[in-house]
Amino acid sequence: MNTPEDSLLGREVAYPSHYDPDLLFPIPRAGARAELGLDNAALPFVGHDRWHAYELGWLDLRGKPQVATATLTVPQESPALIESKSLKLYLNSLNAARFASVEDVCAQVARDLSARAGAPVTVVPGLPVFGSESGALLIDTLDVDIDDYGPPNPAYLSAAGDAVTETLVSHLLKSNCPVTGQPDWGSVVLRYEGPKIDREGLLRYLVSFRDHAGFHEQCVERIFADVAARCAPARLSVEARYTRRGGLDINPWRITPGWEDSAPAPLRELRQ
């Protein structure tokens, strides 16, 4: 079984000089889910991990360099997630490879990622537009004192009263890479139907990730599981839009099965 310590993450590595799909490093999802008490065979959510690639390069058939952007979507039901530095190195390995078109590049990347993740991955040219959630309520302006920065503390979460449908947003999520300790910054979009979530408690909870070491995908699944357990919404959607690192950003999204039509629009935050 692959572990983060087995990867190239946090190590000095040579710039890849040729196309090499073996650079991709899959990390099984099941272990982190088991730590949250989640049964990998009967998860309480569906969703995906949407990557934005800003530095996609290759050579055309005559050797002329080409550049583009792309959106990569890894389904959450894949047995493995793809470690980010390995994805960066893999994409760099395409720089000396020849392709007839950007569509051919995307098709090759999709094949390679699907093989490593263990499920079909889609790759399309281009990126989503910049934007924000219509009608969303920003909780970052709440006048609260906070002195708890980790570990993540679900005790702050609570909900009461009549059922509401609302979207809450915070740009204050910060967690850390579990191997290098480098900070990961992101925005959270939380949409739900159910008893009204205490907003101050939610903000304190999100800030309590500040010193937490976890991969992006695992942080979002932890947020989903904690909110579901403590606030008991009938329906829940959680997306984190992390800022760019090494020409990539990642946007993990999890939602209650059957509520997929309430998925957030595929937008990019201004910080991305």
Catalytic residues: 177, 184
The CA distance from 18 to 14, in Å, is: 11
Nearest-CA neighbor of 198 among 150, 163, 237, 160? 160
The CA distance from 155 to 47, in Å, is: 26
The CA distance from 214 to 57, in Å, is: 29
Nearest-CA neighbor of 239 among 265, 211, 259, 215? 265
- Provide CB contacts within 8 A for 98, sequence distance 6+: 58, 59, 60, 61, 63
Measured over the CA atoms of residue 127, residue 139, residue 223 and residue 230, the dihedral's sign is negative
The CA distance from 197 to 231, in Å, is: 7
Q: How far apart are the first and last CA of the chain?
A: 32
